C-alpha cells in the first residue's frame, strides 16, 4: 500500500471511529472545542513520552513539529500535566479484584460453590478478609461503599452482604461508565495498532463475528446466550490470570512486569432499509 492509499484508509477508519464518540460527546454536552482541547493534550503527551529521541530530552520545539501544535500551546499544555485523573482506573482495578476473588476463591464460597453471603467483619471469612486478600491495604469500607454504589453488592437488613453481579460493571453513576469507555476502548485500539505495526509477527488475538440480517427473535436469544456463556468465558480466564498474577500469588516468579487483559463485548445496529432501492426493485 502506497502512502496515499495508507492515509486514505486511515482517514476512513478514523471517521468511522469518531462517529459513535462524537454522538456520545454531544449527548453529554461536550462541544467541538472541548474535544479539540482534549485531543491537543493527548497529542502533546504522546509526542513527549513515546516519540522522543533515545537518550535526549524531548524539546518543546520538536513536540510542536511532530504534532503541529504551536510552541506556546505546547508549553501551556505541559503546564497542565498531572491533571489526568488515574483514580478511576485504580479504583476500578481494586474493586474488580475483590469481586473476582468473591466469585472464585473457595474460602468465600458456600457449600453450593456460590459466592457466600457474608458480614462486613466476622470470625470466619468476612468481607474485610476478602478485601485484605485481594485489594491490599485499601480500607474495606471504601471498597464496600463503591460496590454498593454501583449495584454490585447489596447490604441486607440483617447486615449481611450479598453479591448481586459476578462482575464489576457499574449500574449507576455515569462517571464510572464513562471511565470504562476510556479504559476499554483504549485497550482495543492499542491491540489494533499493535497488529498493524507487527506486520503479522507476534500479533495480539483480535477476532469478531458479525451478521447483518438477523431477526429480532434471534438477537434476543443471542443476548441471553452471551450473558450466560460470555460470563463463563471471562471467569475461566480470570481464574487462569489470577493464578499467575504476583498480587494474588506473591510466590510467583518470573521476569519483567506486564499488564494483560481479555475483553469480550456485544454490539448491535439497526439496519435501515433503503426505500429508494426497494421502490426501484418493484
Q: What is the C-alpha to C-alpha distance for residues 232 and 172, in angstroms, rounded to an integer?
A: 24
Q: Is residue 40 part of a domain?
A: no
Q: Given this model, what pLDDT does residue 214 score?
A: 93
Of 99, 128, 163, which residue sits at a domain end?
Answer: 163
pLDDT at residue 281 above 50? no
Q: Is residue 280 part of a domain?
A: yes
Q: Is residue 275 part of a domain?
A: yes
Give the burial class of 152: count Cβ atoms within 10 A of its Cβ; 0-12 exposed, 13-18 middle, 19 or more buried.
buried
Q: Say what the alpha-carbon torsion angle 86, 257, 50, 75 is, to the nearest 10 degrees.
A: 40
Q: Is residue 278 part of a domain?
A: yes
- What domain range is 250 assigned to? 207-282
Task: Answer positive or negative: Cα dihedral of 43, 46, 50, 56.
Answer: positive
Q: Is residue 196 part of a domain?
A: no
Q: What is the C-alpha to C-alpha distance for residues 99 and 163, in angstroms, rounded to an integer?
A: 8
Q: What is the C-alpha to C-alpha distance for residues 172 and 253, in angstroms, rounded to an integer?
A: 39
Chain segment 210-235, per-residue pLDDT in tens: 999 999 999 999 999 998 899 889 88
Domains: count for the chain? 2
Chain segment 39-92, per-residue pLDDT in tens: 999 999 999 989 988 888 889 999 999 999 999 999 988 887 654 555 555 666
Q: Is residue 36 part of a domain?
A: no
Q: What is the pTM assigned to this prediction? A: 0.59
Amino acid at each position: 500500500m502506497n502512502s496515499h492509499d495508507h492515509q486514505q484508509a486511515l482517514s476512513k477508519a478514523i471517521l468511522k471511529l469518531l462517529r459513535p464518540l462524537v454522538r456520545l460527546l454531544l449527548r453529554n454536552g461536550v462541544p467541538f472545542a472541548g474535544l479539540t482541547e482534549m485531543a491537543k493534550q493527548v497529542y502533546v503527551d504522546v509526542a513527549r513520552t513515546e516519540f522522543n529521541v533515545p537518550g535526549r530530552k524531548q524539546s518543546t520545539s520538536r513536540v510542536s513539529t511532530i504534532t503541529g501544535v504551536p510552541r506556546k500551546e505546547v508549553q501551556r499544555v505541559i503546564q497542565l500535566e498531572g491533571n489526568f485523573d488515574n483514580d478511576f482506573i485504580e479504583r476500578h482495578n481494586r474493586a474488580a479484584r475483590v469481586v473476582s476473588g468473591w466469585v472464585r476463591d473457595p474460602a468465600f464460597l458456600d457449600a453450593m460453590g456460590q459466592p457466600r453471603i457474608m458480614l462486613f467483619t466476622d470470625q470466619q471469612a468476612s468481607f474485610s478478609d476478602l478485601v485484605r486478600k485481594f485489594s491490599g491495604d485499601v480500607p474495606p469500607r471504601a471498597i464496600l461503599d463503591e460496590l454498593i454504589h454501583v449495584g454490585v453488592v447489596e447490604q441486607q437488613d440483617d447486615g449481611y452482604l450479598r453479591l448481586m453481579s459476578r462482575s464489576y460493571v457499574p449500574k449507576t453513576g455515569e462517571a464510572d461508565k464513562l471511565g470504562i469507555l476510556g479504559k476499554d476502548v483504549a485497550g482495543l485500539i492499542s491491540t489494533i495498532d499493535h497488529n498493524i505495526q507487527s506486520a503479522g509477527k507476534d500479533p495480539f488475538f483480535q477476532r469478531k463475528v458479525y451478521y447483518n440480517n438477523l431477526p429480532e427473535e434471534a438477537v434476543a436469544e443471542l443476548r441471553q446466550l452471551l450473558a450466560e456463556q460470555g460470563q463463563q468465558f471471562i471467569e475461566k480466564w480470570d481464574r487462569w490470570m489470577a493464578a499467575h498474577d504476583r498480587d494474588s500469588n506473591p510466590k510467583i516468579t518470573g521476569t519483567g512486569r506486564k499488564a494483560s487483559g481479555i475483553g469480550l463485548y456485544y454490539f448491535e445496529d439497526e439496519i435501515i432499509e433503503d426505500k429508494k432501492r426497494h421502490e426501484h426493485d418493484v
